[in-house]
Amino acid sequence: MDMVYPTLDLEKKLWKKGFKIVVGIDEAGRGPLAGPVVAGCVCVTSKDQVVDIVRDSKKMTERQRNEAYDLIIKKSQGYGVGIVDAKRIDKVGIRQAVLEAMTKAVEETEKMLKQKAEYVIADGGIMLIEGYNMESINKGDLNHYSIAAGSVLAKVTRDRIMNQYANQFPKYGFEKHVGYGTKLHMDMIKKYGACEIHRLSFAPFSSKPID
């Protein structure tokens, strides 16, 4: 199967329509049982700012993601990251937490740009942020550069946070599963119970997760 690399085709169409500041966003960590949900936002305004190795972060190795992360930060017109922790996820539900993380990421990008985003493109299934021209696109991180770059920032940031938590809570093996419900993680939860970064509104801690 040929490797799919995202393009700037959509961004270019939006630029031609007059939306010069287009930002792409994606999130990492919607499904894990522990740790934060993180959103990444990236704005490029020309092809010169594109990092060629970027694609959907799930299809990149850790080394490729780390290399791409550094280049995205170096080359992009603007970028931002939004982080919402497990306690907030338990309080408001994962859908609202994702929305809050994305909003924070866009606002951080706007601070760097010193202007408001004119159009937001996001990976599919994401709630729309009020006050923006925005669309949510199925397989957006696969096909559209700004979203894919946002996915890299989100994934790398979250993995680094979970590695820090692995040092803080070494019994759970967070460096191996980054909070997802693997057999190892479930076994450690059965053995040790929850720690302070577990999402208590998620199964197996709660039979009624908050959406």
What is the rounded CA–CA span in Å between residue 126 and residue 182? Answer: 25
Largest CA distance in the chain: 57
Q: How far apart (Å, rounded) are the C-alpha atoms in residues 143 and 166?
A: 33
Q: Please give the model's pTM, rounded to 2 decimal places.
A: 0.95
According to CATH, the topology of domain 9-192 is: Nucleotidyltransferase; domain 5 (3.30.420)
- CA-wise closest residue to 149 among 37, 206, 74: 74
Per-residue confidence (pLDDT) for residue 210, from 0 to 100: 55
Mean pLDDT of the chain, nearest integer: 95
Q: How far apart are CA 170 and CA 67, in angstroms?
A: 27
Question: Could you read off the pLDDT of 183-192 as tens digits, one per residue?
Answer: 999 999 999 9
The ranges assigned to domains in the chain are: 9-192
Neighbours of 92 (CB within 10 A): 15
For the chain, where are the alpha helices, taking DSSP H only?
Answer: 9-16, 62-75, 86-92, 94-113, 140-143, 145-168, 174-177, 183-192
Return the pLDDT at 180: 97
pLDDT the model gives residue 114? 98
Please state, in angstroms and rounded to a whole number, the distance separating the CA atoms of residues 68 and 14. Answer: 25
Kindly indicate the confidence band of residue 1, based on its pLDDT and cuts at 50, 70 and 90: very low
Q: End-to-end alpha-carbon separation of the chain, Å?
A: 36
pLDDT score of 56: 85
DSSP letter string, 56-113: -GGGS-HHHHHHHHHHHHHH-SEEEEEEE-HHHHHHH-HHHHHHHHHHHHHHHHHHHH
pLDDT tens by residue, 136-156: 999 999 999 999 999 999 999
